């Protein structure tokens, strides 16, 4: 039986009525992410982020970031497959120059296979973010 790649890249853009400077801490800091993205987020002195959802913990490192632009979290391997093909989530902040509208672009690379359910999940998470920032 041929092995099919189990991970897929999900991308979505969400309009958020808040400035990039206001949003950036919510996509880059443990305390900001804990307010909307996960049930709890902690960070060790070694800069390992622990994301907790429904009592399940997943560790990640910030693989890249740029002030007021993006943050990317790469999950630490939980299996041999993850060693070669790590899951990640990336948040990008973009402004439409014409309308001055701010968008949060989400890139979720994981083995989640129900894209409709994933879309619903992200819509719920971003709704939480909008409540937190008032946008």
Stated pTM of the model: 0.92
Sorting pLDDT into bands at 50, 70 and 90, what band is 5?
Answer: low
List the chain domain ranges: 9-133
Dist CA 73 CA 125 (whole Å): 16
Does domain 9-133 bear CATH number 3.40.640.10? no
pLDDT digits (tens, 9 = 90+) for 56-94: 999 999 999 999 999 999 999 988 888 889 999 999 999
H or E element, residue 63: strand 56-66
Break the chain down into helix, strand, coil percent, rounded to 5: 30, 40, 30
83 contacts: CB under 8 Å, gap ≥ 6 = 77
């Amino acid at each position: 039986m041929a092995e099919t790649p189990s991970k897929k890249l999900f991308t979505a853009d969400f309009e958020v009525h808040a400035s990039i400077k206001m949003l950036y801490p919510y996509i880059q800091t443990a305390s900001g992410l804990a307010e909307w993205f996960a049930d709890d987020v902690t960070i060790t002195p070694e800069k390992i982020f622990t994301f907790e959802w429904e009592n399940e913990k997943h560790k990640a490192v910030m693989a890249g970031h740029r002030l007021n632009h993006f943050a990317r979290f790469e999950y630490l391997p939980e299996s041999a497959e993850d060693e070669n093909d790590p899951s990640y989530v990336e948040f990008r902040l973009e402004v439409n120059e014409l309308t001055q509208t701010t968008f949060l672009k989400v890139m979720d690379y994981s083995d989640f296979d129900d894209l409709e359910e994933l879309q619903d999940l992200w819509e719920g998470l971003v709704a939480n973010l909008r409540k937190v920032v008032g946008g």
